[in-house]
Amino acid sequence: MALDYYSSGAGDEITLRDNRAAFERLKLRPRMLVDVSDRNLSTTILGQPLALPLLIAPMAFQCLAHPEGEIATAKAAAAAGVGMVLSTLATKTIEQVAEIRQHFPDALQWFQLYIHKDRSLTRTLVERAYNAGYKALCLTVDAPMLGRRERDQRNEFSLPPGLHAANLATISGLDIPHAQGESGLFTYFAQQLNPALTWDDLAWLQSICPLPLVIKGILRGDDAIRAVECGVKAIVVSNHGGRQLDSAIASLDALAEIVTAVDGKAEILMDGGIRRGTDILKALALGAKAVLIGRPILWGLAVAGKAGASHVISLLQDELSLAMALSGCAKLEDIDSSLVKSAEK
């Protein structure tokens, strides 16, 4: 059940597969005879430094992979100098994950938010994240309803005994229900999340919290422009890892249009299908300032907890550094659209 929950996509999993295929369609055009003896992978996101252009995507229920769950992931991210986005549906609390900044004071932590029908619950989550020192709110906008994940439905997905949606349980006793013949998470979304959310609600969210607003789940240039007009500071180009609308465009294929539309007025990140350092290079070449990775971290976490997650980050860092060297890029600023070409052209 846990493996299917982590690995599955919506419907026929067309978008899940296409997220990977998009990277395979895009080819690299390396430059030669460039001094790449000293490479710099560092960047900033919303003014905060990162050792490399990488954040851990918000992923629910990480204690399904390892008992330390989100705490182990947060420690791995902070030790490597990359960011982490904590899910509303985490199995560790906002405050527990924030405590790691006692040892890593510069750790970049954002809080991913689902807006519930109960606005007071949403407000409480936001206030807790702000008081705990998170640096941005990352609002997921592509889930007015949960995508139909058929593997979860067949498994009647629910959390096993002893695991809870920790942030919700501590506020109002909410948790993921057991649902006969259905995914408990699908039932939770239908009961609790607000499908009436519109652009107008961003003003309310910004009025209750001074943190910069990031929105995750944009796949169109016109939506990206609207986001900037609403004061959004960063956009994550994402199709939810292929877990929402099946047959939606691959995140990588949507990236260039959104970068052009935003025209530098907000920072652009992307997730979906990244498995190698060359994938990160391709995303940066198309205009992303950083990428988010999801499932690879879960696999590392399942194998060896914090050490496993750390190893995944280290692999990606080494691969990006090598890919930059072999492409003639000594620093991230050297990466541009001339480095990539569609295999179909």
Q: What tokens does 7 get?
A: 């690995």
Task: Classify 138 as helix, strand or coil.
Answer: strand
Largest interatomic CA distance in the chain = 63
The answer to whether the annotation marks 17 as part of a ligand binding site is no
The answer to whether the annotation marks 6 as part of a ligand binding site is no
The alpha carbon torsion through 121, 271, 107, 122 (nearest 10 deg) reads: -10
Q: What tokens does 307 get?
A: 């050490």
The answer to whether the annotation marks 112 as part of a ligand binding site is yes
The answer to whether the annotation marks 305 as part of a ligand binding site is no
What's the rounded Cα separation, in Å, for the pair 32 and 37?
13
The answer to whether the annotation marks 238 as part of a ligand binding site is yes
The answer to whether the annotation marks 274 as part of a ligand binding site is yes
The answer to whether the annotation marks 243 as part of a ligand binding site is yes
**Three state DSSP letters for 286-308:** CCCCEEEECHHHHHHHHHHHHHH
Strand partners, 269: 236, 290
What's the rounded Cα separation, in Å, for the pair 13 and 19?
10
The answer to whether the annotation marks 119 as part of a ligand binding site is no
Helix or strand run (H / E) with residue 235: strand 234-237
The answer to whether the annotation marks 25 as part of a ligand binding site is no
Q: Are strands 109-113 and 83-86 parallel, antiparallel or unpaired?
A: parallel
List of residues 6+ apart from 102 with CB closer than 8 A: none
The answer to whether the annotation marks 31 as part of a ligand binding site is no
Q: Decide if 116 is catalytic.
A: no
The answer to whether the annotation marks 5 as part of a ligand binding site is yes
The answer to whether the annotation marks 226 as part of a ligand binding site is no
Write phi, then psi, for 168 (nearest 5 degrees): -80, -40
Is the CB of residue 125 less than 8 Å from the CB of residue 113?
yes
Task: Classify 68 as helix, strand or coil.
Answer: coil
The answer to whether the annotation marks 114 as part of a ligand binding site is yes
H-type alpha helices, 137-265: 150-155, 166-172, 184-192, 201-207, 221-229, 251-262
The answer to whether the annotation marks 20 as part of a ligand binding site is no
The answer to whether the annotation marks 140 as part of a ligand binding site is yes
Query: Catalytic: which of 66, 116, 164, 240?
Result: 240
The answer to whether the annotation marks 188 as part of a ligand binding site is no
The answer to whether the annotation marks 240 as part of a ligand binding site is yes
Residue ranges at the known binding site for FMN: 58-60, 87, 112, 140, 216, 238, 271-275, 294-295
Q: Which residues are annotated as a binding site for glyoxylate?
A: 5, 114, 149, 240, 243
Write out the catalytic residue numbers.
240
Annotated binding-site residue numbers: 5, 58-60, 87, 112, 114, 140, 149, 216, 238, 240, 243, 271-275, 294-295
